[in-house]
Amino acid sequence: MPDTHTTPSPERLRTAPSARFAGEAHRFDLHRALQDLRAETHPARDGHRQVTIFQHTPVTYVLFAFDAGGTLGKHSTGGLVTIHVLEGRVIVQAEGVPHDLSVGQLLILRPDVPHDVRAEERSAMLLTVHMLPDTP
């Protein structure tokens, strides 16, 4: 099993994806990964930090750490999206409907649904994007 917390080179913020995603099995301690993410010295963007913890087409896992009031602006993706709240409370606005999510709750969005996220308090979430095969 590869070490998912290797030290990045001086010119990179994090270890290169080719090293992070190498190997046949990947085990993640999300609590530790959140601690590491929150300890990064670069400024948080819009009150949040994020790191892709694993990507292997067609699936991507992204860990988010939000400060209270942090946001992720409106966007959409061509894949099926799941948002799993690990800490705190977030509001996900999707197609005009606010989804108030707390620890342990999961929201699933179909592909191409515009959505944004706002943290009501210090929060964390695991976002998964599963790209679906094109269908005729």
**3-state per-residue secondary structure call for the chain:** CCCCCCCCCCCCCCCCHHHHCCCCCCCCCHHHHHHHHHHCCCCCECCEEEEEEEEECCEEEEEEEECCCCEEEEECCCEEEEEEEEECEEEEEECCEEEEEECCCEEEECCCCCEEEEECCCEEEEEEEEECCCCC
7-17 pLDDT per residue, tens:
554 566 777 77
68-92 pLDDT per residue, tens:
999 999 999 999 999 999 999 999 9
- Kindly state the average pLDDT of the residues 116-134: 95
Selected residue with higher pLDDT from 106 and 134: 106
